[in-house]
Amino acid sequence: MINSKNYYDNIATNYHVQALAKMNYLNAVDNYITQTLANEPIIGYMDVGTGDGRRALKLINYFGLDNNIVLVDDSKEMLEQIAIDDNSVLFNGNIMNYKSSKTFSLITCLWNVLGHFPSVDDRINFFKLVEDYLQPGGVFIYDVNNRYNIAHYGFESVAKNITNDRLDDDNKGWFDLATGANKTKVYIHSPFDIEQYIEPTNLILEETVFIDYSTGVKKSNFFEGQLVYKLRKPHQHG
């Protein structure tokens, strides 16, 4: 069993093939981001788990961003796939080791990056970090795979996942990804996980969107799609 960093180092040159297979979904999430932020000025942008940077660069171009851009990834090989954009700072490392005095009005963390964090505490600490790096009024958008997504994983698998969750099984939500020498573990979220991430922060959940993993069509409930969240740091708290 290898860790996320080694897994992505190993698959980096073929990553675009995996992305191509889910392009309807990925484009739908990108479109959601551009639409929901259409009327917001973006002053500083950080993308966490940027991978080959394709989607971050697409958003940077779309919004016409040209400074205070940071793209973070643990995997050196993934970052090497990036078609360099001179305006962006690349940070190769675990996001939890990122240190800067800069803040951002937009932070994204796209396509189940959060599923590669090893524990719930790591995910909670990440949300605290996001809060620290967001400017007041700034937005955090992330999406994760959803273990209650019947449309994608099928009724039987979801029924099994719900049963495991009720038993409070220690392994709930953890699944194998890939096989052989590339085997790693990935956490597939439930629609209820977000509560514990937000609770220790002042972040406000503004919108939850469910998107079909094959077609990219927006759905009305969590049994039919993956989970996309838009959160905001309040302008002032207290």
Ligand X SMILES: C[S@@+](CC[C@H](N)C(=O)[O-])C[C@H]1O[C@@H](n2cnc3c(N)ncnc32)[C@H](O)[C@@H]1O
- Which residues lie near ligand X (CB under 6 A)? 4, 8, 19, 49-51, 55, 72-75, 78, 94-95, 110-113, 116-117
92/103 with CB nearer ligand X: 92
Nearest to 104 by CA among 27, 37, 32, 199: 37
Distance CA 164, CA 161 (A): 5
> Smallest distance, Å, CB 107 to ligand X?
12
Q: Which residues contact 160 (CB under 8 A, 6 or more apart)?
A: none
Q: CA Rg, the chain, in Å?
A: 17
Q: Alpha-carbon distance 81 to 52, whole Å?
A: 5
- Report the amino acid identity of residue 111: W
Number of Cβ within a 10 Å radius of residue 162: 14
Q: How many Å apart are CA 137 and CA 189, to the nearest integer?
A: 26
Q: How far is the CB of 172 from ligand X (least distance, A)?
A: 20
Q: Are 67 and 45 contacting, i.e. CB atoms less than 8 angstroms apart?
A: no
Cβ at position 112, least distance to ligand X in Å: 5
Cα separations (Å) of 197 from 48, 110, 149, 189, 235? Answer: 16, 16, 20, 12, 20
User: Whose Cβ is closer to ligand X: residue 121's or residue 168's?
Assistant: 121
77 vs 224, which CB is nearer to ligand X? 77
Which amino acid belongs to residue 101?
S
**CB-nearer residue toward ligand X: 49 or 173:** 49
Q: How far is the CB of 116 from ligand X (least distance, A)?
A: 4
Q: Whose Cβ is closer to ligand X: residue 73's or residue 193's?
A: 73
* Residue 117 or 197 with smaller CB distance to ligand X: 117
Question: Can you name the residues that pair with 218 across neighbouring β-strands?
Answer: 211
Task: Read off the tokens for 138.
Answer: 């700034």
Q: How far is the CB of 76 from ligand X (least distance, A)?
A: 9
Smallest separation (angstroms) from ligand X to the CB of 78: 4
Q: What is the token pair recorded at 71?
A: 């793209």
